[in-house]
Amino acid sequence: MPRGVAIPELRQQLFTAAERVILRDGPGKLSGRAVTTEAAVAAGLLYAHFTDLDDFLAAYAVDRSFVVIAAAGALADRAGTGDIAANLADTLLAIPRDTLAALARLLVLRPEPAQRIHDVLGDDTALDAIERAAAAYLEAEHRLGRLASTVDPPAVALALTGTLHHLVLTAEDLDERLRPAITALVGTTANERSRNGG
């Protein structure tokens, strides 16, 4: 390709390549050359658009955080409809697993981008957004009388987020393991409400 000719969607191409490298080889193998090789573009293109690798990784982390935040935000529209456990599971499982797994692995091994995420998004980092969205949803269901008064929405949301994080990093059968966990957390409160005559 001639010099100076823009490659459409180059940023996303590089971000997707970085994600593949993280998932396949781990964050420790990330380098500018590894990303550009994976993206099948010239080695210098990454540094033509980003100051250095840390700048690129911070931009990647912010971009992918927006993806997760948008997916988690869809939970708010489900309040008052359908099954509570199914609503939670469907929304969490709609978050791109590879994105969440790569982001989590990156920030564990290379925490430098975390400050950049906070600078851009404030408290709306990916896992924080999932936790807040789940808590807000459960609080809405509580107000609608569809959730037992004994349930603690922030505590359940924290448990759900921790479970999702763990399974994304460790489990192949995410759907099969996440749905029963959510049902156990939410179902327990529903059963308790029935026992108490609520």
Put simply, whether the predicted model's pTM sits higher than 0.95 gets the answer: no
CATH number among 3.30.450, 1.10.357, 1.10.1060, 1.10.10, domain 57-195: 1.10.357
The first and second tokens of residue 150, run together, are 């004994």
Q: Is CATH 1.20.120 the right assignment for the domain spanning 1-49?
A: no
Tell me how many degrees the CA angle 87-90-92 measures, rounded to the nearest 5: 105
Q: What is the pLDDT of residues 115-140, one digit of tens each?
A: 777 777 776 678 888 999 999 999 99
The domain limits of the chain are 1-49, 57-195
Cβ atoms of 23 and 102 within 8 Å: the answer is yes
Question: What single-letter amino acid sits at 192?
Answer: E
- Whether the pLDDT of residue 36 is over 90: the answer is yes
